[in-house]
Amino acid sequence: MSKTIGIIAEYNPFHNGHLYQLAKIREAYPDATIAVTMSGSFTQRGEAAILDKWTRATTAVKNGADLVLELPYAFACRSAERFARGGVQSLAALGIDVLTYGAESRDLAPLQAAAACMDNPAFQSALHDRIADGASYAAALSAELTSRTSLDEALLHAPNNILAIEYLRALARYAPHITPLLIPRTGTAYHDDTLHGMFASATAIRHALHTTPDWNVLRTVMPSSSFEALKDAYTDNLPRQGLLLRPLLARLLSMDGDTLRSIAGMNEGLEHRLLEKAQTASSWDELISAAATSRYPRSRIARTLLHLLTNFTSDVARSCDATGPRYLRVLAMNAAGAGLLHRAKKTAHLPIITKTSHFLNRRDTLRPINELNPLQQMLLFDIRATQLRGLALHAASAAPLDFLTSPVYVKQ
């Protein structure tokens, strides 16, 4: 029986590096079905996705994936640990056999050693001590892993290596039967913001799109379907996160201290720092830069601001973490992906959503959140995130696209 291969991705946007990964999977498993769980309207770093989730999912299917599911906002816009756990739990519920991921490391063994080390009680105690002394989570984690494993500190600063370690931790805890498959990254580094060669980072592509893009260069670093989608979206349908500053300030002005402290990520006095810096910030980026410290990195600030705008509270976050993903939501598929879904309806541990209103209707979104069941609560934040991204477009729109858009079927 052919294997089902899982990928956790953002495809922000889909480029030649992603195409390379899918080709490598096909080399290793020629008859496999490839399923992806992908962040939706916002990414793990707290940024609006460059293209809407259905377009990104469709591009992935056109270029080698068979099925793309949405990783719920409750995990997609969280720390690396929560992002990885949500992705692994989603794909495990679908029934994958292999989880593949890219990393800067070419050797799986030290990453596995680091993952095993992190769940040791002594490690966790030492990690918390470093954080209590003022280190950020990332800095504390890097220092503690370097002191206990053979991993080089430089490798621990590579985002894909950190995610790889978190994937391995999640597999050990939630799905030890799934085989990990490491595919070393090729081309430029994750944070490289320059376009050169045929492999450019997603960061470089987004940077180019927010300046004056050289379309001839961009055409060489991604498949044609992704290139055309980006060119069609330029400029009115590419998000400008700075447009969310005014609604953010309006929300801050209307919140009391207890309500502000209830927001996910708003702890250790961060609310006071945000309120202070918001009084003088003239842009979204300026607010993040002013609020960020070694203790509060930019990505954490960015995610917390989004949680403010979606009203994603600590209580809801804890509930989502306790249950894990509550559904498998389909964004795009081909014939092989449809076949996988057909089989999964009999075996999957979670309900499969192809029509939002069958699980949460528009009237439900007006009810107090404590009147919704756990699945509906989680789905509500996907809907809010999509509408919030709409407000970051040049022609702002809060259209309820999750109720209006069906999964895309790609004929091949």
CATH code, domain carrying 374: 3.40.50.620
CB atoms within 10 A of CB 222: 26
Average pLDDT over residues 253-275: 91
C-alpha pair distances (Å), 159 with each of 44, 130, 190: 11, 20, 7
H helices present in 192-269, as ranges = 202-209, 215-218, 224-233, 245-253, 257-261
Instruction: Name the domain boundary from 257, 290, 317.
Output: 317
pTM above 0.75?
yes
Residue 203 pLDDT > 80 = yes
Domain identity same for 309 and 328: no
The closest of 183, 187, 229, 191 to 61, measured between CA atoms, is 229
Q: Which residue has the higher pLDDT, 45 or 395?
A: 45
118 domain-assigned: no
Domain identity same for 245 and 229: no
Picking from 52-66, 153-167, 357-371, 393-407, which range would have the lowest pLDDT averaged per residue?
153-167
DSSP character at residue 224: H
Domain identity same for 40 and 166: yes
Whether the CB-CB separation of 325 and 378 falls below 8 Å is answered with: yes
Residue 399 pLDDT > 60 = yes
Residue 107 pLDDT > 90 = no
Give the pLDDT confidence score for residue 194 in this predicted structure.
Answer: 66
Domain identity same for 289 and 381: no
Domain identity same for 189 and 266: no
141 domain-assigned: no
Residue 331 pLDDT > 90 = yes
Domain count, the chain: 2
The closest of 77, 398, 66, 39 to 247, measured between CA atoms, is 398
Rounded to whole angstroms, how far apart are CA atoms 138 and 117?
Answer: 16
Instruction: Report the chain's mean pLDDT, rounded to a whole number.
Output: 92
How would you classify residue 377: left for phi > 0, otherwise alpha for psi between -120 and 50, otherwise beta?
alpha
Domain identity same for 162 and 304: no
b/e code 55-88 from CB counts within 10 Å (16+ = b): bbbbbbbbbbbbbbbbbbbbbbbbbbbbbbbbbb
Domain identity same for 288 and 342: no
Domain identity same for 252 and 367: no
Kindly indicate the confidence band of residue 196, based on its pLDDT and cuts at 50, 70 and 90.
Answer: low
Domain identity same for 228 and 245: no
Domain identity same for 260 and 339: no
132 domain-assigned: no
Kindly indicate the confidence band of residue 407, based on its pLDDT and cuts at 50, 70 and 90.
Answer: very high
Q: Which residue has the higher pLDDT, 104 or 345?
A: 345
111 domain-assigned: no
Give the pLDDT confidence score for residue 191 in this predicted structure.
Answer: 52
Q: How many helices (H) and strands (E) does the chain have?
A: 21, 8
Residue 229 pLDDT > 90 = yes
Picking from 128-137, 164-173, 221-230, 392-401, which range would have the lowest pLDDT averaged per residue?
128-137
Whether the CB-CB separation of 200 and 190 falls below 8 Å is answered with: no
Instruction: Name the domain boundary from 298, 317, 336.
Output: 317
Kindly indicate the confidence band of residue 289, based on its pLDDT and cuts at 50, 70 and 90.
Answer: very high
Give the pLDDT confidence score for residue 150 in this predicted structure.
Answer: 72
Whether the CB-CB separation of 36 and 5 falls below 8 Å is answered with: no
Residues 6+ apart with CB under 8 A from 330: 67, 68, 69, 70, 341, 352, 353, 354, 407
Q: Which residue has the higher pLDDT, 200 or 73?
A: 73
112 domain-assigned: no
Give the pLDDT confidence score for residue 192 in this predicted structure.
Answer: 53
Q: Name the residue range of residue 79's domain.
A: 1-104+158-234+324-412
Instruction: Name the domain boundary from 299, 317, 335.
Output: 317
Residue 188 pLDDT > 70 = no
Token code pair at residue 374: 């756990």
Average pLDDT over residues 309-316: 97
The helix or strand, by DSSP H or E, that contains position 71, with its residue range, turns out to be: strand 67-71
Rounded to whole angstroms, how far apart are CA atoms 167 and 162?
Answer: 9
Domain identity same for 205 and 338: yes
142 domain-assigned: no
Domain identity same for 267 and 341: no
212 domain-assigned: yes
144 domain-assigned: no
Kindly indicate the confidence band of residue 162, based on its pLDDT and cuts at 50, 70 and 90.
Answer: confident
Give the pLDDT confidence score for residue 327 in this predicted structure.
Answer: 98
